[in-house]
Amino acid sequence: MNRNPLTLVIGTLLIVIFALLLFTFQVRTTQVAVVTTFGKASESITNAGPYCKLPWPIQKVYFFEKPVQHFEDKFTEDLTADNNSLMTMVYVGWQITEPKSFFPKFGGSVNEAQKVLEGLVTSTKRSIIGKHPLADFVSASGEGSKFTAIEREILDSIQTQVRANSYGVSFEFLGIKKLGFPDSVTQSVFERMTSERQVLISRSQFEGEAQAQIIRSAAELQASKMLTAAEGQATQIRGKGEAEAAKSLAVFQQNPQLASFLFRLSALEDSLKDRSTLIFDQQTPPFDLLRGPAAGAVVK
């Protein structure tokens, strides 16, 4: 008698659990899903949480990983716009954004999708490389390189094709990983880089010489101005000196003997400024003054 209610409860729980398994499913945060109805994709689910469905074989749920997936294409040789061979490899990141479109295109196979996307990346890369000259990829100056713009151009072109073909995926990033040259063109590339470097050297030398000439011209102008100012000041000083000399001359002309005496006295003072031993001839001016007043000129 006591077993029947317990059995009923257990049976009810099993039925509920079985019904939940048949009519509900859970999408994790790292997943996206597509619900198929009789084998055809009918609903995309990109948000995590519990969802309802009809039991198989009416409906079935396929789960795919949501995080960005990566791959690199092959190191291929292509021609640039100026007919130079260039070997390149790119890396990409993509993810499933529309499971409803992705499922019928690739049969729910991520590996199959990656094969198709690799071919799309390679063909698009070849097309974009063919539009650019070699200098856009390799430049001795570093100014001609357009890596970022070329990467963006390849990515935009791939995104356009993916949307046009309803692949249900999105490319999150793309970058050029490796560049190289076949042995047949390596020497010509080096010669071109050397030529570009020589042009830069010549330009730098020309700019340096022009700058040096400007500096020299400015220095010469400044020196000329300073010399002119100095000559002007010297002329003024000479003029003042000559004026003072003219005044003294007028005074000395009134008494030549006094002037002679003063000049000799000044010369004698100059010779005796420092402590020194002198050997001189008393007959030689101005040392004749040392003989006494009688030896000098009579001052009136």
For the chain, the structural domain boundaries read 3-65, 69-181, 255-300
**How is residue 107 written in tokens?**
């049969």
Q: Which residue has the tokens 């050997």?
A: 279
Q: For residues 288 and 268, what is the distance between their CA atoms, to the nearest angstrom?
A: 10
Phi and psi dihedrals of 83, rounded to 5? 60, 40
pLDDT digit string, tens, across residues 207-238? 888 888 888 888 888 888 888 888 888 888 88
Report the Cα 239 to chain-centroid distance in Å: 64
Q: Which helix (H) or strand (E) holds 272?
A: none
57, 124 Cβ separation under 8 angstroms? no
pLDDT digit string, tens, across residues 65-90? 888 999 999 898 888 998 888 889 99
Q: Please tell me the predicted confidence (pLDDT) of residue 268.
A: 62
Q: Please tell me the predicted confidence (pLDDT) of residue 167.
A: 93
Is cis: bond before 5, omega within 30 of 0?
Answer: no
CATH of domain 69-181: 3.30.479.30
End-to-end CA distance of the chain: 170
Whether the pLDDT of residue 293 is over 70: the answer is no
* Structure confidence at residue 297 as a pLDDT band (50, 70, 90): very low
Mean pLDDT of 94-120: 91
Whether the pLDDT of residue 256 is over 90: the answer is no
Q: Which helix (H) or strand (E) holds 257?
A: helix 256-271
Q: What angle do CA 263, 269, 271 make, to 5 degrees?
A: 105
Q: Which residue has the tokens 């002037």?
A: 259
Q: Which helix (H) or strand (E) holds 66?
A: none
For the chain, the average pLDDT equals: 80
Report the Cα 123 to chain-centroid distance in Å: 31
Q: For residues 98 and 167, what is the distance between their CA atoms, to the nearest angstrom?
A: 8
Question: Where are the strands (E) in 46-133, listed by range?
Answer: 49-52, 59-65, 69-72, 76-79, 85-96
Whether the pLDDT of residue 298 is over 50: the answer is no
75, 182 Cβ separation under 8 angstroms? no
Phi and psi dihedrals of 23, rounded to 5? -110, -5
Helix (H/G/I), strand (E/B), else coil: 18: helix
78, 11 Cβ separation under 8 angstroms? no
35, 104 Cβ separation under 8 angstroms? no
